[in-house]
Homo-oligomer: A and B are copies of this chain.
Amino acid sequence: MEKLDEIDLKILRILQKKSNRTTKEVAKLINLTASPVYERIKRLEECGYIKKYVAILDKKLINIPITAICMVSLRYHDEGFIDKFDKQIKALQEVQECYHMAGKVDFFLKINLESLDKYHEFVRLKLSKIENIGVLESYFVLKEITSTTEYYI
């Protein structure tokens, strides 16, 4: 797929805000008929511009009110250790995001949990069991100012 034209961008902007729209609705929003919109969306999916469609749940209603951000530095930085850390983190389902960083810490983790007690447990039983962790600093979210999956396009 070559480049996205303005119509493609409009479709992406619409779908990243609300994906459960009918093709008709999207078509109406951009003054087209259903068929070209249908084909463009399909192309955007096939070419990977749209990775997936997901339902966003309400953290608090499903009883996961605590969000912690955790900064981790490794003691040793060989390739093997980093790959190992990578694999072990991926196995922890409480970890919603994990990034390998450039800067004075190696990793950022975002962790969602039921309670502070569970966080204590999580650190004690899971995180600290991962070998080679040097520094571990925890921060807790007091309030979500913004949190979106949208990109500014």
Contacts and interface: CB of A to CB of B under 8 A. Distances in A.
Interface in A124-153: 137-153
Interface in A47-101: 47-59, 61-62, 64, 67, 69, 86, 89-90, 93-101
Interface residues of A, number: 61
Contacts of A140: 101-103
Given A16-B57, A54-B53, A102-B142, A151 B69 contact: no
Contacts of A59: 151
B54 A147 contact: no
Contact of A51 (B53, B57, B69, B97): B57
A64 B151 contact: yes
